[in-house]
Amino acid sequence: MLRRRLNRLCGGDEKRVDSRTIYIGSQPDTEALIPTKFCDNRIVSSKYTVWNFLPKNLFEQFRRIANFYFLIIFLVQVIVDTPTSPVTSGLPLFFVITVTAIKQGYEDWLRHKADYEVNKYTVIVLEDGQWVKKDSERIKVGDVLEVVEDETFPCDLILLQSTRDDGTCFVTTASLDGESNHKTHYTVPDTEKNLLDLTATIECEQPQPDLYKFVGRMHINKREEEPAVRSLGPENLLLKGATLKNTKKIYGVAVYTGMETKMALNYQGKSQKRSAVEKSINAFLLVYLCILISKAIVCTTLKYIWQSKEGQDEPWYNQKTQKEKDTYVYLKMFTDFLSFMVLFNFIIPVSMYVTVEMQKFLGSFFITWDKDFFDPEIKEGALVNTSDLNEELGQVEYVFTDKTGTLTQNNMEFIECCIDGFQYKHKDNHDELDGFTVTDGPVNRLQQKAGREKEELFLRALCLCHTVQVKEARPEQTSIDQVDSVDGMLPQKEEERGFIASSPDEVALVKGAMRYGFTFLGLENKNMKIRNRQNDVEEYDLLHVLNFDPVRRRMSVIVRTKSGETLLICKGADSSIFPRVKQEEVDRIRSHVERNATDGYRTLCVAFKQLTAEEYAVADHGLREARLALQDREEKLMAMYNQVETEMSLIGATAVEDRLQEEAAETMEALQGAGMNVWVLTGDKMETAKSTCYACRLFQRGTELLELTVRTLEDGRSKREDRLIELLRDYHRKAVQDAPPVKAGVTRSWSTANQEYGFIIDGATLSLLMNPPREADASLYRSLFLQICQNCTAVLCCRMAPLQKAQIVKMVKNSKGSPITLSIGDGANDVSMILEAHVGIGIKGKEGRQAVRNSDYAIPKLKHLKKLLLAHGHLYYVRIAHLVQYFFYKNLCFILPQFLYQFFCGYSQQPLYDAAYLTMYNICFTSMPILAFSLLEQHIDMEILLDNAALYREIAKNAMLRWRPFLYWTVLGVFQGLMFFFGVRLLFSNPALQDNGQVFGNWSYGTIVFTVLVFTVTLKLAMDTRHWTWINHFVIWGSLAFYVFFSFFWGGIIWPFLKQQRLYFVFANVLSSVSAWLVIIILILLSLLPEILLAVLRKPRGPRSKQKKQCQSSLGGGQASLSSARPLLMRTFSDESNTVL
């Protein structure tokens, strides 16, 4: 990173704003030429080095308020003579810092290891006329590389040569955009066959993250000829991270290296994630810190007021002079203030952070151990990479999901087709005409003959209109399972073939044609071969391919038959094809298309046109001119495509199913029912993604789609920017202003009168929205966009680059209210959004494990997300919320009597409790019960949580850690602290509490208060427990028994290492008094009385009491009785949720 900055400062990148020039072969002999310096090919994803690990890690850890606070307290205890030992705060702090540093150091070591493997990967480079092997990190811009089949490209390359005869190669970009299908890339025309003789110059744009955009040109120098200029586009660029397929070997020149490759520019660095609970802890910590400081100030002030009175400062026999009193008075006041701070410091225990860390770490094992997450196919279960975010799983408001491999299996299947109004469904042994759409009477012979001609024309069109390539089976492959399943391998009697295409639906259509007797045999030297039903081979010359694009939403081919006829065959979306064919042909097929779309199938219409010699000559000349244009190439090609694809005849339509992941639709419905907004972010085409949203029930039949894409912006009447703001305001008026607000998580059945909206946006439009020409418009665009999306039932973002996915997540994450976001994906293209979201989920799919390695949690399949959030997330949040509130409560009960005691001991900093009690209160006496509660509590049965997704909404928006429940716990702690102190003081109003007439001392007073305290806070937790296990019984009753045993043991022996033993026989002496026994029991009951009354008197009420009864009746008496009582935890936290099942 530092090297690149120095390079730029030294003048190496003066042309960075415009373009970069790359020389292949010998550079021109010009004295004024200054060699341009580019970054090397090293990849750096690690965070620390050996030298900066310790200072950088410590700095990051002490940025946390709690760690910094306890560091200050520890230093005060070391420097100032305080009532407690520095060990009480220093040891726990050291433990937390050390464990965290080891954990973060190990994670960074794994990143260093991964970087080393990538940077030391061996590549073959042309150097000084010879092919040599060198490390990947030593590749320089301008080097010519050799890459063989199944290897990953080490940097961004321009394709110069391929071993394929047609000058193409096939790559998969699963690690970049999630698409596992093969994409075709083309060599630059007119390059030298012998690369040793190649001398050329490349001018191209500076590095930018858009995967689908590349602009450049290549000047090829030839001997005694003018240099040939060839335009470069995305079809010539091989991206780092993509894999070479079905091509033995390619040669390319490096144009972008290292951290300037498109993959690196799309990588979002991993930052430390913090949960909302941790933020609440910090807020509560500040409140209690203010309470602590206030107590210290009050006691310090009152101490000096009391000492100012005559005879109160020193005894009469040791009077100080006025000069001695005035010496260092402010220093003494400050020292006394610090001493009071240390004395009351236990109100904010460091043990809470240790317990929270242990709860998160141990609690994460319950996800790993859950048998429901085990997938027998991959023989793996769930994986927890980050245990710090367990409770965040219960607070998710926005879910951002990838499509390919996450919602779908990316495995398309041909379902049916419609030819000239007749529906065809495949049968195993024969083809059958299932029904009609226009004619209901019997089919006569003429119609049958016409139908047969249309059938063959339709099937030929399916075999010809595509970019599919045939992959021959390798000799060593003897079974289908040995062939890459992505390639769509198809067994045949004569041979085994695989189909390669840029889109899986093209493979499905070619396979569909095979079912009806027409087989695509392959493309060789622009010659397409198909086998018809009569087993005759037909040959066609491929003249032009009019590629698919999201604006036209169709693709075409121009072919010539052996008889000399020229045909244009076109397939595309119905909305794109219908306006370009005869209306009477549309009427026969429209109903089939609408029915298939309603069923969630991907529909395509097929049309054709016979071109005359004159029409083809015009089209051929126009297409060639447009493809050679260096400027406005896309616009000129678009104009020619639209000119050619007119006045066609509609033949039929197809229906293809993209199989969903198991229980994908049910999972999405459950998430929406739980109040989460679901956004689909995909790099796939809009039509495919839209079909998937319908199949997942994110879009319903009655959903009105608000589309903000390149196609809607291209109206021809106004600029894109003007059209964008016009559409945004129109959609805002429709979805926000004129519609009632959508309540978060309310299911679709809540009202049928309101119109539902779905929103669709593509990557190009998002770029315009995020970076408008006028910077002042950016905030307006984003505000309108977010408001529209928040009022839609689902949002679809298609054609997204990985970095754009992260930008979407970041925009929502930083919007008003700071909603909790979750991203889920299975490929390396999803890593950026997984890292950007509050919670990142990786799916252990077929697209590698990059997403799993960079995620916080990994699950085998999408269906497991439902239980992860609705059950585990819900329970984790409730458990840790109770842990946090309980810790502050019990320590307020602990320190308040200590504060009150100062009013009766002359503000002398005299501890009320023995040092052993001060040290062990949070470590031993009260820590294990709350830890067990926070690990095992199930206030609601998991099955009920899964069946009633609406329960998730009750804890949304950090409901249990808001200021209202915090105030309740604080008031409860103050009430019980006052009860402890003054109740025992009332007991001590009787001077003689023992049979022998002796009175109790101050240590007896503190011991009785401490005994009531320990029993009360432990029994309070027992009352809150709803799911009892043997572990809960053991730790709760065991902790109380341990306290009694320890008090007898600690006070019953003379310890030689103690200079003074304050509690010698004090506890046994206290329990010898009947009055003490009675006061202890009465004070415990009185302190818990408000909780007991709330449990008895408060009746269940609220909107879901009926739902509770239904669940009880459906689950039976046994389970219903287990969960019938409402937990006190929930009762005291929300008036809106008075009934919990």
Spatial distance between the Cα atoms of 671 and 820, rounded to a whole number of angstroms: 14
DSSP for residue 480: G
Spatial distance between the Cα atoms of 111 and 100, rounded to a whole number of angstroms: 17
Q: Is 402 a catalytic residue?
A: yes
Angle at the Cα of 636 from the Cα atoms of 630 and 639, rounded to 5 degrees = 170
- 934-965 core/surface letters (b: 16 or more CB in 10 A; e: else): bbbbbbbbbebbbebbebbbbbbebbbbeeeb
CB count within 10 Å of CB 307 equals 14
The three-state (H, E, C) secondary structure of 314-335, written as one string = CCHHHCCCHHHHHCCHHHHHHH
Single-letter code of the amino acid located at 282: N
User: CB under 8 Å to 319, separation ≥6 — which residues?
Assistant: none
Residue 263's nearest CA partner among 228, 237, 235, 285 is 237
Q: What is the CA radius of gyration of the chain?
A: 37
Spatial distance between the Cα atoms of 530 and 524, rounded to a whole number of angstroms: 12
Residue 533's nearest CA partner among 433, 415, 431, 425 is 431
Spatial distance between the Cα atoms of 61 and 359, rounded to a whole number of angstroms: 19
Residue 72's nearest CA partner among 88, 89, 57, 55 is 89
Spatial distance between the Cα atoms of 222 and 228, rounded to a whole number of angstroms: 8
CA dihedral 49, 50, 51, 52 (to 10 degrees): 50
What's the residue count for the chain? Answer: 1141
Q: Are 465 and 510 in contact (CB under 8 A)?
A: no
- Token digits of residue 866: 């439902």
Spatial distance between the Cα atoms of 32 and 36, rounded to a whole number of angstroms: 12
Spatial distance between the Cα atoms of 26 and 732, rounded to a whole number of angstroms: 58
805 vs 210, 834, 1047, CA distance in Å? 12, 9, 60
CB count within 10 Å of CB 213 equals 16
Spatial distance between the Cα atoms of 933 and 890, rounded to a whole number of angstroms: 15
DSSP for residue 847: S
Catalytic annotation, pick one of 40, 108, 402, 684: 402
Spatial distance between the Cα atoms of 263 and 1085, rounded to a whole number of angstroms: 65
Spatial distance between the Cα atoms of 695 and 660, rounded to a whole number of angstroms: 8
Q: Where on the phi/psi map is residue 379: left (φ > 0), alpha (ψ -120 to 50), or beta?
A: left
Q: Are 333 and 304 in contact (CB under 8 A)?
A: yes
- Token digits of residue 935: 């690990």
- Token digits of residue 779: 């905030």
DSSP for residue 868: I
Spatial distance between the Cα atoms of 942 and 825, rounded to a whole number of angstroms: 25
What residues act catalytically? 402
